[in-house]
Amino acid sequence: MEKQTFYYDNKIVRNFALATTIWGVVGMLVGCIIAFQLVFPSWNMNFAPTTFGRMRPVHTNAVIFAFVGNGIFMGVYYSLQRLLKARMFSDALSKVHFWGWQLIIVFGALSLWMGHTSGKEYAELQWPIDIAITLIWVVFGINMMGTILKRRERHLYVAIWFFIGTWVTVALLHIVNSFALPYSWIDGYSWYAGVQDALVQWWYGHNAVAFFLTTPYLGLMYYFVPKASNRPVYSYKWSIIHFWALIFIYIWAGPHHLLYTSLPDWAQSVGVVFSIMLILPSWGGMLNGLLTLRGAWDKVREDPILKFMVVAITCYGMATFEGPMLSLKSVNAITHYTDWTIAHVHVGALGWNGFLTFGILYWLIPRIFRTELYSKKLASIHFWIGVIGIIMYAIPMYWAGFSQGLMWKSFTPEGTLTYQFLETVTSIVPMYLLRAVGGTIYLTGAILMAFNLFKTMQKGNFLAEEKMEAFPLAKVYKKTGNEYWHNWIERRPMQLLVGSLIVVAIGGAVEIIPTFLIKSNVPTIEAVKPYTPLELQGRDIYVREGCYTCHSQMIRPFRDEVVRYGDYSKAGEFVYDHPFQWGSKRTGPDLAREGHSKLRRPDSWHYNHMLAPEDISPGSIMPPYPWLLTDDLDTSNTAAKIRAMMTLGVPYTKDFDQVANNDLMKQANNIVANLKSEGIETKPTKEIIAVIAYLQRLGSDIENVDDLPVR
Amino acid sequence: MKYKYYLQDALGIEIYPLISLVLFTAVFAFVIFLVLKMNKKKVKEIKDLPLQ
């Protein structure tokens, strides 16, 4: 058999490297802006697209899918070719993948700024973009599997299993969670409602962290840490257990995002148990990565690349220990809805994803540009700036989370709440400022890196086609001595793919199927009725403006929450909520019973509050929404929305869509008359009227029902 | 009938969690068992793949 000559495609690797660098800086910049908005509300600029509720999804989506996404593809396209001794399957598919993904990012960001959102965290992009993501993901899959099939190396190294596991699981998560019913060319309603929607969303949300931010990066760790330290992975056997245990367990842990909510108890318990179990594979993987550097610690002192990688793996260890701790119900009672969650995800994002990406970029760019790094010293400075940035970010957030969580729960000896909600916010604003500064420091480091890499590219000589020689695979595989079981699957990528799918599907099915048994798991409440057309339009504006990024609609059964927000939320209250709006963070108070008679404020209060929150609640950090008062409500889609809701099972009467707008105007006129009596002149056609209708509806359904079903 | 109501009529649906727990434990134990039996020479060979 003769050796074959072929070329590695470095161009696609360089393109993804450029993309991850540029989008990384953009995503972090948006993050810094929104961090400052929480300190200085004027930074919202009285302009819808630059307001926190729309900017925050742009930040999260940019960092997850643009920065980390392109980072994954950069690492996969580099390592896959080399581990398999083969060029990528198709140059055309590589190009389609690259440009398709960048277009999705651009259109995704534009659509979020324009207010087109599904209202589900980290899955905000609407159905046409969801379809585009699916298609590009399939292109990536074909390109990857095609390369694997034409490989010149029989065995699939552990990094590749992580890539395969990632591909198949992300496809499953994305498709299941994105199911929506379109009512216009861009917008649609989540297929699921209430508790089901929450469960599907957090099954997705949790596993987006697991299979987009973790498993592909573990693959990269298993390839690039040995590369950078010039040592094989500490234990290969360990990595096998790591892979199977991690993908099996991770998928079950989603419900820990919904502890103490209206989700059935058994599902919460499953989530907690599997979250605790997750420590084992996670730490196994972390130790395997760190121990790979055994005997090379002298190098770590000098080499900024290894420094980045060590801190990245350490942050992975910290985040994966903290995650299970946060999923303990007693800890979660304090931390949930607070900034602790924000600190947790940023240890992962800034430390694990950010630092591993930086380390890989510093290692990879000089290699494909056949030169030395422009400035090792600058990379070292970046490292320290980055570390300081992470610390400056995380510590104030832990402080803010813990102190606010305790303040919420504090009672006076007389038995009343010690603090107004707003007091708990104004007391942590200094922490928000420190966080914003920490984030800016981290961003500065990333900009230094971009400069350093740009200078490296400038002085280097790009090797687009890297020549390589290798023997082709023999048609028939000859066993070499004692075979072990795992050899079998390591040679069979398709079986590995199917195996991974089965393993993750089991956890997913167990979690989700029983909740679809709606009648037994979600007690229905007779008094809960579908939204009126005006309320529905108001709700869609609530979703559009990203109110859920700061306000929850889920009162947990705690003394403080019940006293502050009213009776705890019941699963049956959300059966018509497409999408659910439980939220995950209380930068503002819970709104689940905003319209309940005990909490209800006058219509004029909402009107003035939307115009200038700081005037109504001094010290409030809520952005103003002046455009709601001036913009006309688009009622041309009311009928389509009602029809979509009917298709999803919301029991409007037959042909209600035809008269929906009449009903809408009637209710709007009532609110306008009410406002007039409170001294405010406005027209029934304004968006604010719909928003007021929706807010006043919240929690009013079970106003007079004594006999509520107990969860 | 809406598709989501079909599942509630599935017979014996409550056995799903039980099956999955057994499956998980079995798979986990199986992986550990086989990993312990692996051939050292081959492991070394695969381990060195990134460094080639």
Specify the range with the lowest mean pLDDT, choosing from A43-52, A482-491, A598-607.
A482-491
> What average pLDDT does range A255-264 have in this prediction?
82
pLDDT in tens, A143-163: 999 999 999 998 889 999 999
Identify the band that residue A710 occupies on the pLDDT scale cut at 50, 70 and 90.
Answer: very low
Indicate yes or no: CB of B8 within 8 angstroms of CB of A232: no
Kind plus residue range of the DSSP H or E element containing A9: strand A4-9
Burial class (CB in 10 A: 0-12, 13-18, 19+), B41: exposed
* A375 pLDDT above the threshold of 60: yes
Q: What is the spatial distance between Cα A540 and Cα A634, in angstroms, rounded to a whole number?
A: 11
What does the pLDDT read at residue A84?
95
Q: Give the one of B8, B38, B50 whose C-beta lies nearest to A237's C-beta.
A: B38
What does the pLDDT read at residue A340?
96
Indicate yes or no: CB of A233 within 8 angstroms of CB of B17: no
To test the contact with chain A by mutation, choose from B6, B14, B18, B24 the residue with the greatest count of A C-beta atoms within 10 A, namely B24
Q: How far is CA A419 from its chain centroid? A: 31
**Cβ of A159: how many Cβ atoms within 10 Å?**
27
Burial class (CB in 10 A: 0-12, 13-18, 19+), A398: buried
* A566 pLDDT above the threshold of 80: yes
Q: Where do the H-state alpha helices sit in A251-354?
A: 265-277, 279-291, 297-302, 304-326, 329-335, 339-346
Identify the band that residue A476 occupies on the pLDDT scale cut at 50, 70 and 90.
Answer: low
> Is the CB of residue B48 less than 8 Å away from at least one CB of chain A?
yes
Q: Which residues from chain B sit within 8 angstroms of residue A514, using beta carbons? A: 13-14, 16-17
Which tokens sit at A699? Answer: 């929690």
Closest listed residue to residue B47, CA positions, set A157, A488, A162, A86: A157
Indicate yes or no: CB of A240 within 8 angstroms of CB of B31: yes
Q: What is the spatial distance between Cα A690 and Cα A683, in angstroms, rounded to a whole number?
A: 11
* Half-sphere exposure at residue A604, Cβ-oriented, CA atoms within 13 angstroms: 9
- Give the amino acid at A485: W
Closest listed residue to residue A383, CA positions, set A414, A410, A409, A361: A361
CA distance B41 to chain A (A): 9
What does the pLDDT read at residue A612?
95
pLDDT in tens, A507-564: 777 667 666 655 555 667 778 899 999 999 999 999 999 999 999 999 999 999 999 9
Q: Which residues from chain A sit within 8 angstroms of residue B40, using beta carbons? A: none
Closest listed residue to residue A668, CA positions, set A693, A646, A695: A693
Q: Which residues from chain A sit within 8 angstroms of residue B7, using beta carbons? A: 513, 516-517
CA torsion through residues A350, A352, A355, A356, sign: negative
- DSSP-based three-state secondary structure for A466: strand
> What average pLDDT does range A494-507 have in this prediction?
79
pLDDT in tens, A277-309: 889 899 999 999 999 998 888 999 999 999 999
Chain A's closest residue to B46, CA to CA, is: A157
> What average pLDDT does range A654-666 have in this prediction?
95
Q: Give the one of B5, B17, B28 whose C-beta lies nearest to A510's C-beta.
A: B17
* A338 pLDDT above the threshold of 90: yes
- DSSP state for residue A180 in the 8-state scheme: E
Strands, E, within A397-524: which ranges? 465-470
What does the pLDDT read at residue A108?
97
| Percent of chain A predicted with pLDDT > 90 | 79
State residue A585 phi and psi, 5-degree precision: -150, 135
* A252 pLDDT above the threshold of 90: no
Closest listed residue to residue A246, CA positions, set A170, A165, A174: A165
> Is the CB of residue B11 less than 8 Å away from at least one CB of chain A?
no
Q: What is the spatial distance between Cα A608 and Cα A682, in angstroms, rounded to a whole number?
A: 12
* B20 pLDDT above the threshold of 70: no
What does the pLDDT read at residue A255?
84
> Is the CB of residue B26 less than 8 Å away from at least one CB of chain A?
no
State residue A4 phi and psi, 5-degree precision: -105, 145
Q: What is the spatial distance between Cα A574 and Cα A186, in angstroms, rounded to a whole number?
A: 25
Chain B's closest residue to A231, CA to CA, is: B51
Indicate yes or no: CB of B43 within 8 angstroms of CB of A236: yes
* A611 pLDDT above the threshold of 70: yes
- DSSP state for residue A337 in the 8-state scheme: B
Identify the band that residue A266 occupies on the pLDDT scale cut at 50, 70 and 90.
Answer: confident
CA distance A256 to chain B (A): 17
Which residues partner with A337 through β-bridges?
A585
- Rounded to the nearest integer, the mean pLDDT of chain A is 92
What does the pLDDT read at residue A709?
44
> Is the CB of residue B31 less than 8 Å away from at least one CB of chain A?
yes
Specify the range with the lowest mean pLDDT, choosing from A102-116, A267-281, A566-580.
A267-281
Closest listed residue to residue A449, CA positions, set A370, A390, A365: A365
Q: How far is CA A533 from its chain centroid? A: 31
Report how many Cβ contacts below 8 Å link chain A to chain B. Answer: 102
The answer to whether the beta carbons of residues A225 and A478 sit under 8 Å apart is: no
Question: Domains, chain A, ranges and CATH?
Answer: 293-469 (1.20.210.10), 533-697 (1.10.760.10)
Indicate yes or no: CB of B51 within 8 angstroms of CB of A226: yes
Identify the band that residue B4 occupies on the pLDDT scale cut at 50, 70 and 90.
Answer: very low
Q: What is the spatial distance between Cα A192 and Cα B2, in angstroms, rounded to a whole number?
A: 12
Identify the band that residue B8 occupies on the pLDDT scale cut at 50, 70 and 90.
Answer: low
Which tokens sit at A327? Answer: 């999923």
* Half-sphere exposure at residue A380, Cβ-oriented, CA atoms within 13 angstroms: 7
DSSP string computed for A54-122: HHHHHHHHIIIIIIIHHHHHHHHHHHHHHHHTS--S-HHHHHHHHHHHHHHHHHHHHHHHTT---SSTT
Closest listed residue to residue A157, CA positions, set A223, A60, A107: A223
* B5 pLDDT above the threshold of 60: no
> Is the CB of residue B47 less than 8 Å away from at least one CB of chain A?
yes
Q: Give the one of B4, B28, B49 whose C-beta lies nearest to A157's C-beta.
A: B49
Indicate yes or no: CB of B50 within 8 angstroms of CB of A83: yes
The answer to whether the beta carbons of residues A423 and A332 sit under 8 Å apart is: no
State residue A677 phi and psi, 5-degree precision: -65, -20
Closest listed residue to residue A556, CA positions, set A592, A520, A524, A527: A592
CA distance B5 to chain A (A): 7
Q: What is the spatial distance between Cα A682 and Cα A689, in angstroms, rounded to a whole number?
A: 9
What does the pLDDT read at residue A209?
87
CB-based contacts of A434, cutoff 8 Å, min separation 6: A392, A395, A396
* A330 pLDDT above the threshold of 80: yes
pLDDT in tens, A54-91: 999 999 999 999 999 999 999 999 999 999 999 999 99
What does the pLDDT read at residue A514?
63
What does the pLDDT read at residue A486?
62
Burial class (CB in 10 A: 0-12, 13-18, 19+), A675: buried
What does the pLDDT read at residue A282?
93
* A704 pLDDT above the threshold of 70: no
What is the 3 state secondary structure string of A351-399?
A: HHHHHHHHHHHHHHHHHHCCCCCCCHHHHHHHHHHHHHHHHHHHHHHHH
Indicate yes or no: CB of B43 within 8 angstroms of CB of A237: yes
Domain residue spans in chain B?
Answer: 3-51
